Amino acid sequence: MSHRVPIEPQRVDAPLTQSATFLVLSVTESPDAIRTVRKAVAGIDDLTKNVAIRDLSASFACTVGIGSDIWDRLTGLPRPTELHPFRTIKGGVHTAISTPGDVFFHIRSERRDLCFEFERQLMDMLGDAVAVVDVTVGFRYFDVRDVLGFVDGTANPVGAALPASVLIAEEENEVVAGGSYVVLQKYVHDLKAWQALPTEQQEAIIGRTKFDNVELDDAESGQKSHKTLNTIEDENGEEYDILRDNMPFGTPATGEFGTYFIGYSRRLWVIERMLERMFVGNPPGLHDRILDFSKPLTGTTFFVPSSSLLASLDSD
């Protein structure tokens, strides 16, 4: 990658970096809130360049997502076909909860200080137009592992399959062209209970070996692994991929250990089906056993517009 220029705005496929900040905000009822937020997101490219130029080798990038409840007032544009609030999924044992969120900023860099500086300048611009719903700082853990000890993101699409899986095609309509849906869930882990399991049992739950990340077959009992439940195929056997930029977060001193799930997709239904299979089970009743150790604290959905559409929002 060239270090002469910053990463293009709204690049959902920006590199996985050492640090990331996941910032979910709600728009307040202050008189100029909509105008302030609209101006901020429309000018996000300039703010990004202002921070990225300080170290072009740090792969700084920011992706902005807009939520369903604020879309009409913030953009005044036709709605993306699949955009709706995150749907609560209630299984027999576990529930994927839905939480608020109007605007999302996925801030990432090889340097934590650049993420910090961008967040500081952004919040100065937004002021009392927004309230913080959640802010989580993620970090890369060893060779892209989660805190459960397994490699995360192995199934991500590569090459030509990446834009085909993540970006909406030009022919759908000019509002959504080049955009993507993104789903967020903040999971906390019961690490003590997880570590009490034998490695073989952990591997059966995940569907891969822990040390060398080799794919495993599911048990004959009918209980499917996390890997299998997150594999979505249509009736013709065509597999639908998503792009995961998951990151660990936490503080051992407070006993907090977690994974921030973030999935980008051209088709929102693909991620929703994954979650249904995890929480309800396939067949129903055989839920993803990782949920016995991982609890979602949030659940939100956003649409990530193209950079040109985002920039046009402040054209008036």
Active site residue 152: yes
- Quote the CA–CA distance of 149 and 202 in Å, as a whole number: 10
The model carries a pTM of: 0.96
The torsion defined by the Cα of 30, 21, 248 and 113, in degrees rounded to 10, comes to: -140
H-type helices in the chain, by residue range?
33-42, 44-52, 68-75, 112-126, 161-166, 191-195, 199-206, 226-229, 268-279, 307-312
Please say if the pLDDT value at position 181 is more than 90.
yes
| pLDDT range class, residue 136, cuts 50, 70, 90 | very high
Active-site choice (13, 102, 134, 152): 152
pLDDT above 90 as % of the chain: 92
Whether 132 and 38 have beta carbons less than 8 Å apart is answered as: no
DSSP 98: -
Residue 314 pLDDT: 85
Please say if the pLDDT value at position 1 is more than 70.
no
Task: Indicate the angle between helix axes 33-42 and 44-52, nearest 10 degrees.
Answer: 50
The per-residue pLDDT for range 33-85, each reduced to its tens digit, is: 999 999 999 999 999 999 999 999 999 999 999 999 999 999 999 999 999 99
The per-residue pLDDT for range 244-298, each reduced to its tens digit, is: 999 999 999 999 999 999 999 999 999 999 999 999 999 999 999 999 999 999 9
